[in-house]
Amino acid sequence: MFRRKAHSHKSAARFLFHHWGSPVEIESITKCITASYSFLLLLRFDLPQSAMSLGYAEKLSYIEDVGNVGMTEIYDPPHILQEKIERLTMMIRKSKHLVVFTGAGISTSCGIPDFRGPTGIWTLQRGGNALPEASLPFHRAMPSRTHMALVELERAGILKFVISQNIDGLHLRSGIPREKLSELHGNSFMEKCTSCGIEYFRDFEIESVGLKETPRRCSNADCDVKLKDTVLDWEDALPYEEMNPAEVHCEKADVVLCLGTSLQITPACNLPLKCLHGGGKVVIVNLQKTPKDKKASLVIHGFVDEVIGGVMDLLNLRIRPFVRIDLLQTIFTQAMSLDQRYVNWTLRIASAHDKRALIPFIKSVEVSFSDHTMKEAVLDKHPFQLKRRTVWKIEPFDVILKVNFSEGCGCACSRIKIPIDFHVSRDDLTRDKDHVFGKLKSKAIKSSSCGHNSVIERKMLTSPKTEVIIRAIVTNVRWYDEITVKTSGAGSLSKCSLKRRKEGKNETEAARKLPKGQYRHN
């Protein structure tokens, strides 16, 4: 576990007393801190560490000056924090064009470390300290309360655009439409065709940074060129297709809300100030001072999740659960033996993104059969593949897969049944992906569990005879409420969580098409 160092309640109170020169007695402040202490622990101190920033920092080219790091964190006293939350809520209510500008601070509660905080990656590196061991796979990080609140604000028509400096892909995973998002520094899970512009959002981290070629090619038959990663290295310029809409929306904005960013990296840090020329206002929510504080109409020193959670309560907007759906494909290939008595067949469980890619959410696959005379098998390493020979005259049977999930998933496994009949050919099948995703999410929320799966596409090939089926599987469900964040498989839900789940049990979160160029979740 990677934890930020927590002061005792009284020492924290003394810090507040000394910093603000408040006349409030230390014991009074201590009571306020104690009242919200469990909430703060949940948000910041009790989450597993993700490998994201560790791997990203190591991939970047070496640079001596990464800006100010290790700056002191500041916490507004509870009563002042509440007053500021109310002011921010009023500004959002009155806003006609709200833009949100995000940094690493909105993802620390997801288990992803920041860079410049007291225990940030670059802070540790500058001090010659070892980086922490990662216990949460980067690809399994889930959106925070803030990520999901932004989705609700966008759906309500309040939030017009999001500009992110983060590369963790959590804005897209949470449900922010691609056309309403600029990822200035790229996305660790996105690769792009520079010929036709199609973007591919993967379930695995792309191998490189610096806009380099990846091992995969564009699936567009007219292109077939190698894809490139989208994450910038230090020397790379901000891409026009991300920077231009960001500038346009900042110029239109009447409020630019900066969340969890030190506003040090140029030219991105100057974007929020563009709203000032048209009479707009800048609001900064960050635990450290920033170079832009003097330009802001409101500066809030508090945990981003606590601030945005308070705003959502005052706006009477509920944050719906996050449901993660991953894809896999099963490939069943068969061929007759030379004597026409046997069928040689192969079953492969592969990534829907690329047949050669690892499937990061699968640990192993147990294979059994409805015909109990057939020998069971355990596939525990990539590629997950089983080869068998079966007599041609055998009756139809089912292959039953128990797909065991890897660390970070919300449940242990999912079960898949594949009917096999050597004597009958099935037709191709294509279902609406958004509809399938919507039904799976509704089912996951209603049952408060994951592991549900459904077929999206079936394709029959003739030479050799092959059936390829792409399936969608629910691998995580997370609920958000005022006090707790609960994940399926992580324990029982609070009464509040249960109430909210029942209220929203028929709601769906249809996956959205993202037409910036084009976008594919495969």
Classify residue 184 as left (phi > 0), alpha (psi -120 to 50) or beta.
alpha
DSSP class of residue 376 equals P
What stretch of H or E contains 329? strand 322-336
Asked if 485 and 309 touch (Cβ cutoff 8 Å), the reply is no
Tell me the one-letter amino acid at 394.
Answer: I
Kindly report whether the peptide bond that precedes residue 118 is cis, defined as omega within 30 degrees of 0.
Answer: no
For CA atoms 356, 360, 366, 371, give the dihedral sign: negative
Find out whether 352 and 335 touch, Cβ atoms under 8 Å: no
Q: Tell me the pairing of strands 342-351 and 384-391.
A: antiparallel
| Identified catalytic residue from 139, 147, 171, 185 | 185
CA 452 – CA 104 distance, rounded (Å): 32
Nearest to 324 by CA among 161, 102, 488: 488
CA distances from 52 to 122, 163, 206, 371 (A): 13, 20, 12, 45
> What is the DSSP secondary structure assignment for residue 43, as one 8-state letter?
I
Q: For residues 467 and 420, what is the distance between their CA atoms, to the nearest angstrom?
A: 10
Residue with tokens 């209510």: 93
Q: Which residues contact residue 302 at a Cβ distance below 8 angstroms, ignoring those fewer than 6 apart?
A: 75, 76, 81, 84, 285, 287
Angle between helices 26-40 and 9-20 (to 10 degrees): 120
Amino acid symbol at 213: E
Asked whether 260 and 113 are in contact (CB, 8 A), the reply is no
- Confirm whether 185 is a catalytic residue: yes
Catalytic residue ranges = 185
